[in-house]
């Protein structure tokens, strides 16, 4: 039987380091994903993974289990990634233009919209599509990418994101909306063969 996170955390608190190893292996990909998508650099992302799990090891006694371990871990990882994002030498951004759909004077869509939503179920079969999405997200300017990653990858609430980034909730929503529109436009171009 697979031991759940709560049981592993309990063992770790009792001083059993083998439980720590299991937690690291179970969640390292997720933490790496947070680091990579926020920092756009593999070495920085690996540093985030290492720092995060060291924090977990050292602070496990302060984890009270009110939220799932995974959320607590995600918050530590996010904070580490944000700290790095603020302090590191900046990699020049190769920014995606933030585009929105075009409307005519009557407020109607100017272009036909192809419904590519069924692809969401097939993404695991298409490496190319996954790659395209990662590249698109990577090319978003920092302020849009960060919010998109926190909301749509990490599933944090608008309020949680606002607190983490020191923004107002309406501000978070505006950035998130524009980021989603931009990713949508880019995917639509790609899938229609325009790009």
Partner 1 sequence: MRCEDVTGILLEYDGGGLPPPRRGRVEHHLEACATCAAYANTYTAVQDLVQEALAVELSQADQADLDMALQTAIRRTA
Report in angstroms how near the CB of residue 145 gets to partner 1 at its nearest: 10
Of 38 and 66, CB closest to partner 1:
38
CB environment 78-111: b (16+ within 10 A), e (fewer)? bebbbebbeeeeeeeeeebeeeeeeeeeeeeeee
Q: According to the binding rule CB under 8 A, does residue 109 interact with partner 1? A: yes
CA atoms within 13 A on the CB side of 138: 16
Of 4 and 42, CB closest to partner 1:
42
Residue 183: alpha-carbon gap to chain centroid:
14
CB environment 156-191: b (16+ within 10 A), e (fewer)? bebebbbebbebeeebbbebbebbeebbbbbbbebe
Among 22, 98, 133, 165, binds partner 1 (CB under 8 A): 133
Q: According to the binding rule CB under 8 A, does residue 59 interact with partner 1? A: no
Report in angstroms how near the CB of residue 14 gets to partner 1 at its nearest: 16
Residue numbers at the binding site for partner 1 (CB under 8 A): 17, 21, 24-25, 28-30, 32-33, 36-37, 46, 49-50, 53-54, 57-58, 100-101, 103, 106-109, 112-117, 119-120, 123-124, 129-130, 133-134, 137, 148-149, 152-153, 155, 158, 173, 176-177, 180-181, 183-184, 187-188
């Amino acid at each position: 039987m697979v031991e759940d996170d709560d049981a592993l955390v309990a063992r770790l608190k009792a001083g059993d380091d083998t439980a720590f190893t299991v937690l690291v292996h179970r969640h390292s990909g997720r933490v790496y994903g947070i680091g990579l998508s926020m920092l756009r650099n593999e070495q920085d992302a690996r540093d985030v993974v290492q720092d995060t799990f060291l924090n977990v090891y050292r602070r496990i006694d302060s984890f009270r289990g009110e939220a799932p371990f995974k959320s607590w871990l995600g918050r530590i990882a996010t904070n580490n990634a944000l700290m790095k994002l603020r302090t590191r030498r900046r990699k020049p951004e190769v920014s995606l233009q933030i585009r929105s759909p075009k409307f005519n004077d009557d407020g109607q869509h100017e272009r036909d919209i192809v419904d590519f939503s069924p692809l969401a179920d097939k993404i695991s079969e298409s490496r190319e599509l996954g790659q395209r999405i990662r590249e698109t997200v990577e090319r978003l300017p920092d302020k849009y990418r960060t919010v998109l990653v926190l909301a749509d990858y990490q599933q944090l609430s608008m309020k949680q994101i606002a607190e983490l980034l020191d923004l107002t909730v309406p501000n978070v929503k505006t950035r998130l909306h524009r980021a989603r529109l931009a990713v949508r436009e880019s995917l639509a171009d790609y899938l229609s063969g325009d790009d």
